[in-house]
Amino acid sequence: MTVKYAYNVNIYDNQGRVIKKNIPKGTKFVVDRLEKTSFADQFIPEWASDGFYRIKGTTHWLVAVLVKVDKKLPLRDPQREENLNKYAYITFSKDTNVYNADGTIQNHNGQKIVKQMGQFKVDKLMYIWVPSEKKANLFYHLVGTKFYATNTGTSFFDKIDVGHDAYVKAADVKFVNGVQLTPLNTAAEAQVAAQKK
């Protein structure tokens, strides 16, 4: 494997901390693994999704998109492999509103979760009464709390914090992998629960 670029190519430890900066272009390494590491979420999505190469015989890593390899290794995602039996995974196939448990849209100054290719954990599927629509919709409960958001023009990678009780409409996202969730309630039960409040 060879370093592709002459700038910003660093070596990282197992926590994603830089241990050596600006590796010269053309520097060669022997690598033994391509992995989506536990620290990948500290990096921009394009880097994180392509993974990191481990330098053989070490616990040191290089960003995959910044190096050229003779033979690409299969990408491993140990955490995801472990979680496939615990969670369902969705993708945001369009810019998506986030809802509270009471069926109201969260206020993020007009920002939504941005359309993106990554897969995101959800752990519940349930009907929630949406007062503004006067009907119950099927929602996924988000496991994560911070998501890339639609651009406000102030920065390229805006994030919103949706909190621990955030939902997205099942119709607005795409189920892609993991446990096949079944609804915890019915639309009628969601309507009755909303009327009791």
- Beta strands 88-92; 174-178: pairing state: antiparallel
- In tens digits, the chain (197 residues) has pLDDT values of 666 766 678 999 999 999 999 899 889 999 999 998 888 888 888 788 889 999 999 999 999 988 888 888 898 888 777 777 788 999 999 999 999 999 999 999 889 999 987 889 999 999 999 999 999 999 999 999 999 898 766 666 688 999 999 999 999 999 998 889 999 999 999 999 988 87
* 3-state SS assignment for residue 189: helix
Quote the Cα angle for 127-133-135, to 5°.
40
Instruction: Give me 180's structure tokens.
Output: 């096949």
* 3-state SS assignment for residue 152: coil
This model's pTM is above 0.75: no
